[in-house]
Amino acid sequence: MPAPASESTSPPGDGDGNLVLCMVCAAPFRSMQDCLAHELIKHASKPQKQLRQRLNAITKLFNSAQSQSERQELREALEWSESGGHLCTVLNFFACDLENMKTCFGHVRNCIEKEMWGRVRVFPFGSLVTGLALKESDIDLFLEPNGNQPPLFHNQLYNKTSHFLRRSKCFADVFTIRHASVPIIRCKHQLTGLNIDINMSNPNSIYNSRFVGELMFRNERIRELCLFLKIWAKKLKLISHGGMTSYCLISLIIVNLQVNRLVPSVKELQSLCPPVILSGVNYAYSLDLTPPIPARLTTLDLLKNFFIYYCTVNFDKSVLSPFLGGCVDKETTLGMPGGFPEYDEQQKLVHDAIGAPPDAFQLDRAMCVQDPFELSRNVAKSVSISNLCYFRQCLVLAAQACSDQELTSQPEKLYDYLLFGLADKLVADKIVADKRSERATPRKQQKIENAHVQPPIVDETQETKVAEVGVCGTPPLVRSHVITPTTNDVKCLRSIVLVKNTENDQSIYYYWLICYVDTIKDVLTQLYALNVELKESKEPKHYKWLISISYDTWTGRSFQRGAGQSFFAHQLQQTIEFTKTRMGNPQYAVNLRGYFTLQASEDYKELRLDVQPLQGDLLGLQRNSPLTRLFKAFKNLLGNYSFKEKVSTWKFCATTDQI
């Protein structure tokens, strides 16, 4: 477990050593050139293009008239702040009026419970309960049937609530999201203009919110820490659709406080009270023995510790666990049977409670953060590799700022920099880094395999971290490719598919995703003739397959087809020929085994493809390995396969009326 970040810890890239940290694994280097070469070798799959696109989007956002006006207003407010009151000024500037929010909740609750004739109870969760509401925050509600209602009532509750909201004069812009993992109804409260999200199927959030809320109100510095970091993450778009959630950020903050011995682990908190079991999960806790935060620690100290600590965490190898109270190794805990007894026990209890095997914790994500109570839930599962790289860059700059004596002596400038100026610095640093990269790696990176890299600088007392960083010349452990729908894809799909299915509620991007998943299955099984075994599935957004084959079916393919012949038919013809001539031929013999994973974003607008070797196969993704060459050929084939043909041969077109 990484050591606590002390008050005297120097930030990365700062001080006498002037170290440069790798943005993915936090390995330290003496120069930018060494760091860039390391990233090219060890993290070749890092989506640099997506990172540049994100920085460009952030630049446009911060240069907008609205953002500049908001920045000027905050500056003026900070200028009028009393000494020591600058942080409160920032929090008050962005935070929502909680009393107003509570009044609105009371009105909404009374309306719903009255309309439903007392057959439901309305509970708040989220920022209203935690006290971390910002001006743009929604009100999150959970509707619970009152008493033992028949199953039919549960099935009808969603529709009844939707109809009531549409009829009511108190609500507007009612929108149902039926096919999310947790179906919700979204609407707007007319009187206050607040947005409301109503959930009827997942009460877990009520317990999570109560825990966070009680923790926040035990000490004002913890609430200030969480509220500022939420504002910071929102401003920099770290919290966004397809990125980190607010709950994920709060979980990270809790772990950081636990590592610094300021908050006990959830495991310790549960040992002080009887269990409260819901669907096999224990939501009990007692904060009675939580130690007070030392008076010498200011909120700025806590902020600085947060930024510095997460600069040093190797997210590739780690799980952040509020339950255990720290950062633990993936493989030795959740990656092996018996490594995490409490997790195994909870899985059995959940299985008994719901009558089906629960999903396992998703370790194959860029970032792993465990829910404090629901131990099989990765609350960071939506964070992509590019989002993680961006997060690390923000952390490094924020840590440097909070350790800069000149900035910290002028808090009005510090908070302006953290919320607005940091984005400018990111873009400027990216431009410089790109130029250095061009000078450091001419002629197509001068063949990456010949690049000389200095080993990471590690103190003698930090030998345990060498294993986490790994040897710089080792291949990456995952290769990724991201697909997003083009305008032509959407037009083609709309004209061909939706005409036949006008009454379905799904978005056009849902069908785009389904079409692509079917296409990928066909390419893997029919065109490449791979043996494919499904290992994980959460339709339609997540699939993980074990793939294997003993001969090469991907190299030497031709994309020049005859007139009137479809792309798929032309490729299938070559597959048949390869099977005849290559199977059993030593020249084309391979031993390919690995995992192929598909992960879609919540809005279906992004599909990430990951390929990984089997556990323990450290060379499975080296430059000329069968798995790497297959993945490169696969991406090339998909690029040559027109979406129009994909849709025209898609099985959905023949079964539209049945869906």
Residue-wise pLDDT tens digits, 99-108: 888 888 888 8
In 3-state terms, what secondary structure has residue 34? helix
Whole-number pLDDT of residue 500: 59
358 lies in a domain?
Answer: no
Q: Is the pLDDT of residue 502 over 50?
A: no
Backbone angles phi, psi at 610, to 5 degrees: -125, 140
What token pair was written down for 30?
A: 């003496």
The answer to whether residue 148 scores a pLDDT higher than 70 is no
CB 592 within 8 A of CB 619: no
Residue among 95, 54, 90, 86 at smallest CA distance from 71: 90
Q: Are 122 and 262 in contact (CB under 8 A)?
A: no
Q: Is residue 374 part of a domain?
A: no
The CA-CA-CA angle for residues 359, 361, 362, to 5°, reads 105
pLDDT class for 5, splitting at 50, 70, 90?
very low
Range of the domain at 130: 98-204
Quote the DSSP letter at residue 9. P
Residues facing 320 on adjacent strands:
327, 369
Average pLDDT rounded to a whole number, residues 217-230: 95
3-state SS class at 364 = coil
In this prediction, residues 359-378 reach a mean pLDDT of 94
Q: What percent of the chain has pLDDT over 90?
A: 40
Is residue 510 predicted with pLDDT exceeding 70? yes
Mean pLDDT of 234-261: 92
Tell me the mean pLDDT in the region 466-476.
34
Asked whether residue 558 is assigned to any structural domain, the reply reads yes
Pairing mode of beta strands 139-145, 195-199: parallel
pLDDT over 70 at 458, yes or no: no
Question: pLDDT band at 140, cuts 50/70/90?
Answer: very high
Residue pair 375/323 in contact (Cβ under 8 Å)? The answer is yes
Give whole-number Cα distances, 156 to 113, 260, 451, in Å.
Answer: 16, 48, 64
602 to 432, 541, 606: CA distances (angstroms): 34, 8, 8
**Which of 567, 531, 574 is closest to 553 using CA atoms?**
574
Residue 321 has pLDDT above 70, yes or no: yes
With a cut of 80, say whether residue 237 has pLDDT above it.
yes
Among 184, 204, 224, the domain boundary falls at 204
**Within a domain: 234:** no
What CA dihedral angle connects 480, 484, 489 and 495, to 10 degrees?
120
CB 552 within 8 A of CB 582: yes
Amino acid type, 409:
S
- 582 — pLDDT class (breaks 50, 70, 90): very high
The model's pLDDT over 23-66, given as tens digits with 9 standing for 90+, comes to 555 566 666 556 655 655 555 444 566 677 777 777 777 778 88
Is the confidence at residue 157, as pLDDT, over 90?
A: no
Distance CA 653, CA 98 (A): 51
User: Could you give phi then psi for residue 556, rounded to 5 degrees?
Assistant: 75, 20
| Beta carbons within 10 angstroms of residue 533's beta carbon | 10
> Measuring CA to CA, which residue among 361, 452, 415 is closest to residue 36?
452
**Confidence band, pLDDT 50/70/90 cuts, at residue 21:** low
- The mean pLDDT value for 7-34 works out to 53
171-177 β-sheet, strand order = 120-125, 139-145, 195-199, 184-189, 171-177
Higher pLDDT: 112 or 361? It is 361
Tokens of 259: 């590592």
How many angstroms separate the CA atoms of 289 and 269, rounded? 8
Whether residue 646 is predicted with pLDDT greater than 50 in this model: the reply is yes
Give the strand order in the sheet containing 542-551. Answer: 479-483, 607-613, 589-600, 542-551, 531-538
Rounded distance between C-alpha atoms, residue 247 and residue 205, angstroms:
10
Tokens of 16: 């006498």
Contacts of residue 353, defined as CB under 8 A and 6 or more positions apart, other chains included, come to 277, 279, 280
Domain end point (choices 154, 172, 204): 204
Q: Which residue has the higher pLDDT, 614 or 302?
A: 302
Joined tokens for residue 552? 């090469």
The number of distinct structural domains making up the chain is 2
What Rg, from alpha-carbon coordinates, does the chain have?
Answer: 26
Mean pLDDT taken over the chain: 81
The pLDDT assigned to 504 comes to 60
* Structure confidence at residue 656 (pLDDT): 37
Q: Between 504 and 527, where is the model more confident?
A: 527
Is residue 447 one of the residues assigned to a domain? no
Question: Residue 378 forms beta bridges with which residues?
Answer: 370
544 has which bridge partners?
A: 536, 597
Q: How far is CA 99 from the centre of its chain?
A: 32
DSSP state of 333: T
Selected residue with higher pLDDT from 627 and 42: 627
Q: What is the pLDDT of residue 136?
A: 84
In this structure, what token pair is assigned to residue 346? 């909870």
Assign residue 640 a region: left if phi > 0, alpha if psi is -120 to 50, beta otherwise?
alpha
- The whole-angstrom separation of Cα 21 and Cα 35 is 7
* 209 burial level (CB within 10 Å; 0-12, 13-18, 19+): buried
Domain boundary among 175, 204, 233: 204
Average pLDDT over residues 219-230: 96
Token pair in block for residue 590: 């391979």
Report the range of poorest mean pLDDT among 12-26, 227-241, 395-409.
12-26
Residue 537 lies in a domain: yes
Report, as an integer, the average pLDDT of 124-143.
92
Does residue 176 lie in a domain region?
Answer: yes
Nearest to 652 by CA among 489, 455, 460, 514: 514
Q: Is pLDDT at 557 greater than 70 in this prediction?
A: yes
pLDDT band at 650 (very low <50, low <70, confident <90, very high): low
What percent of the chain stands above pLDDT 70?
79
Among the listed ranges 78-87, 611-620, 647-656, which one has the minimum average pLDDT value? 647-656
Query: What phi and psi values does residue 296 have, to the nearest 5 degrees?
Result: -70, -20
Poorest-pLDDT segment among 1-10, 203-212, 293-302, 563-572: 1-10
Higher pLDDT, 654 or 312: 312
Segment among 289-293, 372-376, 576-580, 623-627 with least mean pLDDT: 623-627
CB atoms within 10 A of CB 251: 22
Taking the alpha carbons at both ends of the chain, their separation in whole angstroms is: 50
pLDDT tens digits, 591-610: 899 999 999 988 888 999 99
Contact, 427 vs 53, CB < 8 A? no
pLDDT band at 654 (very low <50, low <70, confident <90, very high): very low
| Model pLDDT for residues 382-439, shown as the tens digit of each residue | 898 888 888 988 998 999 899 888 999 999 999 999 999 888 787 776 654 555 545 5
In a domain, 437, yes or no: no
Residue 98 has pLDDT above 60, yes or no: yes
Total residues found in the chain within this entry: 659
The CATH number of whichever domain residue 102 belongs to comes to 3.30.460.10
Q: Whose structure tokens read 């060890």?
A: 42
**pLDDT higher than threshold 60 for residue 131:** yes
Residue 17 is predicted with a pLDDT of 43
Q: Which helix (H) or strand (E) holds 301?
A: helix 299-312
Structure confidence at residue 520 (pLDDT) = 92
Q: Residue 65: how many CB atoms within 10 A of its CB?
A: 7
Query: The tokens of 154 are what?
Result: 């549960």
Report in angstroms the alpha-carbon separations of 354 from 59, 99, 350, 359, 542.
47, 38, 6, 12, 21
User: Token pair for residue 630?
Assistant: 């297959």
Residues 6+ apart with CB under 8 A from 18: 30
